[in-house]
A = this chain, B = another copy of it.
Amino acid sequence: MIALDEARLRILSAIHPTGPETVPLAAGWNRVLARPVVARLTQPPADVSAMDGYAVRSADAVAGATLGMIGAAPAGRPFAGEVGAGQAVRIFTGGFVPAGADAILIQENAKAEGASLTVTEGVARGRWIRRRGLDFAEGQELLPAGRRLTARDIGLAAASNHPWLTVHRRPRIGILATGDEIALPGEPLPPGGIVSSNAHALAALIASAGGEGCILPIAPDDAASIAALAGSGGYDLLVTTGGASVGEHDLVQKALGQSTTPGGFALDFWKIAMRPGKPLIWGKLGAMPVLGLPGNPVSALVCAVVFLLPALARMQGQPEDAPPTIRAIAGTDLPENDQRADHLRATLTPATEGGWIATPASRQDSSMLAVLASADGLILRAPFAPALAKGGAVQVIPLASLGV
């Protein structure tokens, strides 16, 4: 048995980012940049007005003065001439400040009558002008490689004139569920059988992290079938999930060991000091990393949160090495922990003084998928953590905000 942190480091050290892919801007949301977005233009492209009003020379625009209006500068239609002494140009938000003008007199501070403008309140030099490049300048890096793109980022990439983006190709993850006793939802269920839930839950988890899950046909509990499916190839990583039958991990290991894939199977480790989850295979089948998850649905999903989510982030060029956590306050006393890192299914409720109260579900049985689904997060309990009184601080992986 190895420690959870060591296991994760060994997994992540074997992960490589996927290559770059060019996608339309409109398909870029939630993808991860493989190359930075560098501004192709300067925004605003010239000094522009921040208000509706009049472009003036501030020295002329003193209270009581009358100016002659010589034109207009709406956004997108710059005024070609120059504002001379005693002159003004009607201007609107976003309009280019014409040559000669050095301030914007807002319309509330002037009275226009035909071509004549009377200043009711003076204006200081530079007032209500947004300078060229205030938002960004051509050549400036706006979004770094490794950034997962938000809606705001898409707007910024658009504004800086990028119709295409270079992102990491979505990691393609093969998902192989094994077990004589399992059947897909809606299909005939053998006597004593259970409905397969891991493959689809894992595919959804992979989608939530920007990957693409490919669900392979369920493999029966026989080594040759498992080896054939595992070796079908084309994946950046293969996830297996065993049935709950005897020696399941031996079986998957044995099957991988029999594989005819060039290079064969190289096991790295297969037991982790964690709960739920202990049995977990990590190795390589030829060049393809293989993560063997437990068959128990709760264990499989918790292990996927702890190991697969960071692996998916790394494959997309992100630096994360652990799932994000938040600090919360324990809603009940927590007993001391044994040698296995524990992950308590918990609800999160807002604390009156701010932050969160994390309260473990009363039953932590690892077969209870409904309890996991109704949890808001996982309270992390380190190996040998001492007992913690209600009100003490804990770290929690917030599941729902990850889409998991």
Contacts and interface: CB of A to CB of B under 8 A. Distances in A.
Interface stretch (A111-119, A134-142, A230-238): A134-142
A162 to B, nearest CB: 6
Contacts of A160: 195
Contacts of A154: 200-201, 203-204
Contact of A150 (B29, B185, B190, B403): B403
A159 interface: yes
Interface in A82-141: 92-94, 96, 130, 134-136
A393 interface: yes
B297 A155 contact: yes
A201 B375 CA distance: 32
Contacts of A354: 327-328, 355, 393
B29 A155 contact: no
Q: Which has the most chain B C-beta neighbours within 10 Å: A25, A152, A185, A297?
A: A152
A372 B43 CA distance: 14
Interface string A347-369: 00010001100000000010111
Contacts of A286: none
Interface in A194-210: 194-205, 207-208
Of the candidates A78, A155, A207, A404, the one having the most CB atoms from chain B within 10 angstroms of its own CB is: A155
Contact of A194 (B159, B201, B350, B404): B159
A244 interface: yes
Contact of A30 (B149, B369, B403): B403
A153 interface: yes
Interface stretch (A3-11, A62-70, A176-184, A330-338): A176-184
B201 A158 contact: yes
Given A50-B367, A76-B243, A152-B301, A159 B195 contact: yes
Given A74-B245, A77-B181, A200 B150 contact: no
A301 B158 contact: no
B44 A204 contact: no
Q: Secondary structure at chain A's binding surface: helix, strand, loop or mixed?
A: loop
A114 to B, nearest CB: 18
A368 B136 CA distance: 8
A400 interface: yes
A367 B94 CA distance: 9
B204 A29 contact: yes
Interface in A367-404: 367-373, 375, 393, 399-401, 403-404
A370 B194 contact: no
Contacts of A266: none
A191 interface: yes
A189 B43 CA distance: 13
Contacts of A355: 327, 354-355
Given A155-B373, A156-B373, A245-B76, A161 B180 contact: no
A263 interface: no
Interface in A137-174: 142-143, 149-164
A152 B203 CA distance: 11
Given A93-B296, A161-B185, 17 more contacts: A29-B203, A29-B403, A44-B367, A75-B179, A76-B182, A93-B244, A94-B243, A94-B244, A151-B205, A151-B207, A152-B375, A155-B201, A155-B297, A155-B373, A156-B370, A158-B199, A161-B186
17 contacts: A30-B403, A50-B365, A75-B245, A76-B190, A92-B245, A94-B181, A150-B373, A150-B399, A151-B201, A151-B202, A151-B204, A151-B404, A155-B198, A157-B185, A159-B369, A162-B185, A328-B354
Lowest 10 A-B CB distances belong to which pairs? A76-B181, A155-B201, A94-B244, A163-B186, A151-B204, A159-B197, A29-B204, A158-B197, A327-B354, A151-B205
